[in-house]
A and B are shown apart, each in its own frame.
Chain A
Amino acid sequence: MGDEQRPDGKGGEISRRAFLAAAATAAVAATAAALAPMQDITDLPTLEEFLRKHYTELTPTDKEAIIARISAQVEKEYGVRPHLTDPQPMTGVEYGYALNIGRCIGCRKCVYACVEENNQSRDPQIQYIRVLEMKKGSIDVETSNTDYEGEVPKKDSFYMPVQCQQCRKAPCVKACPVKATWQDPDGIVVIDYNWCIGCRYCMAACPYGARRFNFEKPMIPKEELNPEMGLISNRPRPKGVVEKCHFCLHRTRNGKYPACVEVCPTGSRKFGNLLDPESEISIILKTKRVFILKEEVGTLPRFYYYFNI
């Protein structure tokens, strides 16, 4: 930069040229070394995957092709031909969930049933449901313990499982910069796994810690794969996207209960149609002592907690 290196055509020029040549060679070698990890990549998106449109813009033909493609991928990878469908919300249905914290014993059967039903990664481990062990006398989650062990229920404790609350005013939907997560007419907040960019802003936004990120390609043992799959619910997820509880929409939109409701040994979990005044959920909301978690954040959950007298 100073005047001593302003070229005057004399002295030092050849050595500089030699230096530049050597530097160029070194630079190429160093760049090649830097790029080396790319040799190990196995899950680069295909052109079709790369260019895929947003879920809500897919035509029926697009969807058929996508379902065929994912089915083929799953079959290749897990040796099981999945039954992959894309169940749509039913009209006149808005799902609600109620959990009896007076009955829940904290056995975590729901946690594991959910993992198996929804093809969650076993390593790294992903679980949609966290069971909080709370000391009697406080409903403050900050005093809870999620990694309790040993025999349950413990004396002087009660248990409060938390999963996606399917909020009417969902902060995660607001946060997403690319509309990869939205609320379907039946109230379920869903995620398009092929549109999520993995920025994790929704995870920062969620007041319930309900969202999980695929920090690696999910690992599911072949023999444990659930072949009953929904396109925006439990089909195997790619690496680098967010997922969460979707009320088992591939089951519930076909008239079944979510896996966690079915497995609960104490009958603490109730699920149904909020729009039907005769449904069990509607009756619970009318007759029991019901509350919602973190009412002060204004998210209006469709997930209720209640207790008997």
Chain B
Amino acid sequence: MTQAIKDYIVFVGRCARETIHGDWRYFLWMSALTAISLLGLNAYLKQFVVGLSVTGMTDQVSWGLYIANFTFLVGMAAAAVMLVVPVYIYEDETLHDIVILGELLAVAVIIMCLLFVTVDLGRPDRFWHMIPGIGKFNWPISMLSWDVIVLNVYLILNAHICGYLVYMVYQKRKPAPMWYIPFVFTAIVWAFSIHTVTAFLYVGLGGRPFWNSAIIAPRFLASAFTAGPGFLILTLQIIRRVTKYRIGDKAIMMLRNIVQVSMIINVFLLFCELFTEFYTDSAHVASAKYLYFGLHGHHGLVPWIWTAMALDTVALVLLMLPQSRSLKYLNMACGLAIIGIWIEKGMGLIIPAFVPSPLGEMVEYFPTRNEWLVCAGIWAFGMLLYTVFLKMTIPVLTRELTPTSAPPAV
């Protein structure tokens, strides 16, 4: 047993050494990400010292960019399931070689989610109040307590699956089904749960009519299954360009099918929501009116949402056309869809629920520079983590790094 642990530590150590090798592009990329992460850390510490008054949030709009990013990223993390399902349930081999890359993305993104929640806390020093057993956890009543559980378990599940399967490749052993199959299947259900619970977080609040819609959880999933695989389409092309890992066009085209269908469902559900809000035209439409057209002379979100609408529409049309079988147009469609969904789920879904306030006050939210820097920092740190994970894993997958391969000199 101790030998096994020792071997595993050696394995992780050798993988970690891979991260200090690379060409100038790699170092430039990593340095840039580190620099932005540090800028974000600096901005966060300013907030930590002074308080959340350095953000644009107010008593009326008490959640902002942090929770918006959090919501978007939970979806990105859940999207790994779109690769797992074809491979493990339908035993389709097309995506077999990239499943692990999707799961690694999930690990990095969940860490980003946890960071976004942490920077949003007024008292991050009291995070331990949320640890079951030590703190005082309001489970099962509070939806936020559910979210803490599902996110952390999803993180552990994916970390375990990746760590185990890559180690087996390294050791040239066949993975024992009992050590990963049950976890993979649990992770499938869990992926749906993280985004559903995150939707329930909002949906369960009777005092916020804008969120009080049963369609939000399905909308979350549809947009997640667009943005997540879309992000992977872009990432996989970079990976196959800069490493020896072979990723066929067939796999990318299969992801295209997933993105295509999800995007259609996403836009359809959005249409359903808009119809219900605007055709009914009850008093509850105030937030949606503010979002799309402005209300009582306040138009803060109007440019955001119409940008998102335009991006979503162009992405949808591109994805439907045969042109997006060419990587150039596919990449464009994915890029537009990701940005469109980021706006729609963030600024478009979180902020309007607070405007007008429950007492009818019109207080708009404009994120501050410091807030943007914190967000940029977390994004850069997430990308940094994902790059590190890939850098550690890919040499194993390409069999360049084996127990007997010569250790690379520094």
Contacts and interface: CB of A to CB of B under 8 A. Distances in A.
A141 B359 contact: yes
B195 interface: no
A147 to B, nearest CB: 8
Interface string A150-182: 000000000000100000000100111111100
B376 interface: no
B279 interface: no
A1 B391 contact: yes
A1 B48 contact: no
Contacts of B129: 54, 178, 180, 195, 197
B136 A54 contact: yes
A297 interface: yes
B356 interface: yes
Contact of B50 (A141, A146, A216): A216
A214 B59 contact: no
Nearest to A182: B138
A80 to B, nearest CB: 24
A134 to B, nearest CB: 9
Contact of A196 (B58, B122, B243, B354): B122
Contact of A207 (B121, B148, B358): B358
B41 A34 contact: yes
A18 to B, nearest CB: 13
Nearest to B356: A142
A206 B207 contact: yes
A278 interface: no
Interface string B102-140: 000000000000000100111111110110000111100
A78 B48 CA distance: 24
Contacts of B21: 1, 5-7
| Residue with the greatest number of chain A CB neighbours at <10 A, chosen from B51, B143, B244 | B51
A17 B21 CA distance: 11
B45 A35 contact: yes
B207 A38 contact: no
Given A205-B207, A207-B207, A7 B409 contact: yes
Contact of B121 (A33, A198, A206): A198
Contacts of A238: 123
A30 B41 CA distance: 11
Interface residue tally on B, bucketed by range? 35 or more
Nearest to B142: A177
Given A27-B34, A171-B207, A240-B51, A2 B359 contact: no
A309 interface: no
A208 B117 CA distance: 25
A124 interface: yes
Interface string B16-40: 0000111100110001001100110
Contacts of A203: 59, 62
A63 interface: no
Contacts of B409: 7, 9, 13
A253 interface: no
Interface in A224-266: 238-242
Nearest to B57: A215
Contacts of A209: 59-60, 357-359, 361
A176 B408 CA distance: 52
B219 to A, nearest CB: 19
A204 B358 CA distance: 10
A148 interface: no
B359 A41 contact: no
A294 B207 contact: yes
Contact of B358 (A6, A30, A177, A208): A208
Interface string B40-70: 0110011011111101011110110000000
B144 A215 contact: no
A174 B20 contact: no
A77 interface: no
B360 A144 contact: yes
A216 B46 CA distance: 12
Contacts of B391: 1
Given A40-B49, A203-B59, A215-B53, 13 more contacts: A23-B27, A37-B49, A50-B125, A140-B360, A142-B356, A171-B206, A177-B137, A178-B130, A178-B137, A196-B126, A197-B122, A204-B205, A208-B359
Report the 6 A-B pairs with minimum CB-CB distance, sorted nearest first.
Answer: A198-B122, A207-B207, A240-B122, A177-B144, A215-B53, A37-B45
Interface of A: 1-7, 9, 13, 17, 19-20, 23, 27, 30-31, 33-38, 40-41, 44-45, 50, 54, 124, 126, 130, 132, 140-144, 146, 162, 171, 174-180, 195-201, 203-209, 211-217, 238-242, 294, 297-299
